[in-house]
Amino acid sequence: MKLVKSLLLGSAAGLIAVGGAQAADLPVKAKAVEYVKICSLYGAGFYYIPGTDTCIKLGGYLRAEVALGTNSDFSGGLNVSSQGANGARNRLTNYYTMRAREDLNIDTRTATEYGVVRTFFDGVFSWTTGNYVGINSTSGGTAYSGTLTAGPSATGTSAFNSVSLYGSGSGSVNGTDGNTSAGSLGVYYAFIQFAGFTMGKAVSQFDAPWTNYPGNNFDSLVGGSGTVTGINQFTYTADFGQGVTAAFSAEDPTSYMQAGNVNLAGASGIGLVGGSFGTTNNSIGGSRSPNLVAMVRVDQAWGLFQASIAAKDNHTGYYGSNEATGHPDDKWGWAVQLALSIKNIPTGAGDVINISGVYTDGATRYNFQNLAGSSYSMWGSNGAAGTYGSVGFAFAPDTTFNGAGTSQETVKTWGFRGAYTHNWDAYWNTAIYGAYAGVSYSDNQKAGICAAFFSASAVTGIGATAATNTCNPDFNVAQLGLITRWTPVKNLTFSADLNWTHLDQKYAGNITLPAAQNAGGAIVAGAAKPTATYTLKDQDTVTLLLRAQRNW
């Protein structure tokens, strides 16, 4: 009996134990899995952010490129002052510039009773070849050290010749040891769109839709506006249907749209050779008014037409170093641009012609856009007999004035650019493109500039005389290019972009650089050019940009 009782109790205990184990293993009810859903409202690539009614799209590209014949990834090699020894054409000039870049953009959109709320961000991470330039010396000699400086604003205080390393970032350099923490971060676009308003950093409403690129990769085309990295703005856009829109915008000019307000009282001959108007080159005052922009666009199946106009307040500092010296009154400048794109042309499917033309009066950056610049200084070996070589230089600010009591005068420019792109097949296309821009000074402005040109100063003069030289600061820039692209698979493109740039300057004769260059002559010393006689002459440069880019 005891045996039976023991067996029964043991069996009950076992059943209880098994039952407890099974109860412990019962699954707890989990929250429903919320899968990412496709958002078809705004085109391919959008998804709903889980738990919200906001759609998001991630995109970008990775780019590797090399530019041959320039110290700058985006320039054609005409400038000494702003891009190191770019125009020196000697041992200080880079034969190539390399860059690696990753772009990331984030596009979000939410439907509301007021319409779509959109935010857009585009940032780039870049690593770019550094470039070098000699800095002015008080001791002479030709030895160059490896001094690192913060960028093109550095002037150098050492009594010895040194080298400035222009790196990839603002305020920092890549370094020469492959420093992996260097490079640069750029914010191209960051804006909100709501109920017809655009608020933040976006392409200027003045620009044609192709900005600097009617058919090219080369960044530095003259002949039109091009805020390719965005400009801070507050804009309202009205949509009238059938592809007809109009925009009214207040845009911040301080970063990209200031070509300079120049006090000619600070001009010097040696400053002109460096592509500026001397040591007191820039007399821009603090910001007072945004640029006011209006645009009308017709964008339909046949192509696009756009008309843009902009007004710019030129607000200077003082005539001298303090308030008591007084200042010129503000002077408003303006610019107008027409752009045309023709899509349906008989040469092939997808072929397109893009052209634009611009006129500016006191608003030079709407023609000589930020990546092209409006300051040129380039040296060559093709001087007249008995000279060391040749030099060409030019400069186009927004306005000039000439010392105490004088008013601002605007500088007038005009230009155009365009391209024709032909698709050979689904994998290959070629574009031919070009640009042309001109600058015109008034007789009064020429008198002030030529006073510096003919200065007899032993320190800042250049040995020019009315008997042997012609002084005319007007100039033109012509550009012509050819680009071919190969896309072997979707979103992977290899391209070769060959560009020729010609500086047509109007000075003539020979000049002799001063022996004492320290006061105002740092630009020439930076080019490592000796005291010698040079021919004033037009200059040319050729740049080849090779690029591989994978979009995603």
Cα(537)–Cα(77) distance, integer angstroms: 16
For 413-445, how does the pLDDT look when each residue is reduced to its tens digit (9 = 90+)?
A: 999 999 999 999 999 999 999 999 999 999 999
- 8 Å CB contact between 198 and 231: no
Number of domains comprising the chain = 1
Is the pLDDT score of 9 beyond 80?
Answer: no
- Cβ proximity of 211 and 227 under 8 Å: yes
Counting beta carbons within 10 angstroms of the beta carbon of residue 542, is it exposed (0 to 12), middle (13 to 18) or buried (19 or more)? Answer: middle
Which tens digits make up the pLDDT trace of 341-381? 999 899 999 999 999 999 999 999 999 999 998 989 888 88
Domain region containing 318: 33-551
Bridging pattern class, strands 492-505 and 539-551: antiparallel
| pLDDT confidence of residue 210 | 97
Picking from 168, 232, 170, 188, the residue whose alpha carbon sits closest to that of residue 60 is: 188
CB atoms within 10 A of CB 416: 19
Q: Is residue 3 part of a domain?
A: no
Residue 7 in any domain: the answer is no
8 within domain boundaries: no
Q: Does the structure show a pLDDT above 60 at 513?
A: yes
Q: Is residue 328 part of a domain?
A: yes
Q: What is the rounded CA–CA span in Å between residue 442 and residue 362?
A: 12
Residue 365 is assigned to a structural domain of this protein? yes
Residues 38, 47 contacting (CB under 8 angstroms): yes
Strand pairing of 409-410 and 412-423? unpaired
pLDDT in tens, 360-370: 999 999 999 99
Asked, for residue 134, whether it belongs to a domain, the answer is yes
Query: Of residues 338 and 460, which shows the higher confidence score?
Result: 338
The one-letter amino acid at 297:
R
Q: Is position 14 within any domain? A: no
Handedness of CA 509, 512, 518, 519 (dihedral sign): negative
Give 515's contacts (C-beta < 8 A, 6+ positions apart): 458, 531
Query: Of residues 519 and 250, which shows the higher confidence score?
Result: 250
pTM of the model: 0.85
Q: Which residue has the tokens 């010396």?
A: 137
pLDDT of residue 146: 30
Sign of CA dihedral 523, 527, 533, 537: negative
CATH code, 472: 2.40.160.10
**509 contacts 471 by C-beta, under 8 angstroms:** no
Whole-number Å distance between alpha carbons of 258 and 328: 17
